[in-house]
Structure 1
């Protein structure tokens, strides 16, 4: 059986007795075309299953209408919400999103970015890996006239726009809350020292202690490498078995905080009566563990939307030189793990 021939603009024009350009503009509802003609063309196209040749359209516009997005982890509550926001905004503007992950490894990030570039994406959204510092592979996009927007985990060494949250203020608010609840000896299980958002959160922690005039010891700061639940467990063990154990712990992420809580519960510590715990990121699990975990909301969906809006605007303007920074505010989410009073806050 012969495959049915695909209907073209020329076919529609011939059947309706109008030019190909009129058919094209009618399908796009061009203001110069009469409403009767638009309806006639659209009705005919729909009844005859007309499918536009997007490849040809995109070729003429020198665009693929695909954008790339690379995150450290796909199976991660925060990044999954960022991806959802990015997909929503991309689809609203007629773009498709190609998603990949770096596994927080530079080598994997380079492979993912080169694959995106070879796929001729029109631009790239990226949250860099913990091992990325120079980002030469990302500069390759700019060299080819394709804009890049960094979000969440960024490096200042790349001349691109950035969409971030106010990590320092969010951390400061979290520690201030612990202090207001009566916790006076507060430790911090932080992220890697060479990662910007981890350093911002650590600075916010230190600032809050300084303003309150509380103890601030280097041995109360523990540094994660993998940002894992097990590191939260192991570092909490070190802190609680030390000579001057804390009565409050602020963790770099909720995952680390869950490890901290696991150690405390296994060893008979009452949360928050004896030790208050605060996370960061507001994972879905935070609201279902017992006790429910206090955290800091990063508004991942909004970050995905704002990052995509910025990238698509640059694509339309053919702009690869913008270096603006968009900073989103965090929100303190107080639950049982840090609240000494019984009343809701």
Structure 2
């Protein structure tokens, strides 16, 4: 616990630092905070907050900046959340249209988050176990090629072309699709893959050529499913605009982490198991590369189960009062679109 006076000064300092990115001195706080105290009193309070780990004094300045612990206290107890701007809500409502496919909605959400918050926006794609096979159709093309029309979940349609070892007639493909739909429709895609491969492996010598061909077609059709990006990210370059010269080396490390995505995906996986907005400030993320950055996330769903996580990555001095409600409302509106 800190005193009311210390709370006011810490809140003022954090808000001022978020605004201009510079260390804040006691003389500035004396002018801005509006407290009937002397500059010496403010210096004493600042020294106490620094000793307790809430503030840090850069060696090049007499002013102070918040630490991750200071930001955490600010976010948890001192922050005044702003209502999302009408323009932002209108943009979200227009782009997160229920008539779009799940893939289109996820892509739109990541772009919207980046554009509205001026940070890097990210969305994990719906987890494969949440995708269910509704229907598959096979249509013959020239040569040994087959057009696959894959219906996933309620209305997401995916088209792809597969190559087969021999040509098939339209009737043969229609029969194969009917068999696959009868055996696997309504099951999770990853379970369908496993079951098809297991049946082909275990019963290769016992099944007839018709069933073998049908299973082979289904296996090829699903091979590409889930091979795409696990996480869509937009606006990484925006992080450059807010980085100081001292932060550039750590920013390069962060970009390399984005390329590998392992640390980021582990962090987002933790968010899928939580409810509502989660805020990871600096080292709270558990990875050194996030030391100068914060991640604000929220899970999204289809009305029945959590499908993934969306959020933004930005400097620790991001505008939390504005970013947090944008992430929250985007998750709610994406969930609503996917549930409709």
TM-score of the alignment, normalized to the shorter chain, above 0.5: no
Bigger fraction of residues in helix: 2
What TM-score comes out, normalization by structure 2 length? Answer: 0.32
Relative contact order (alpha carbons < 8 A, sep ≥ 6): 1 or 2 greater? 2
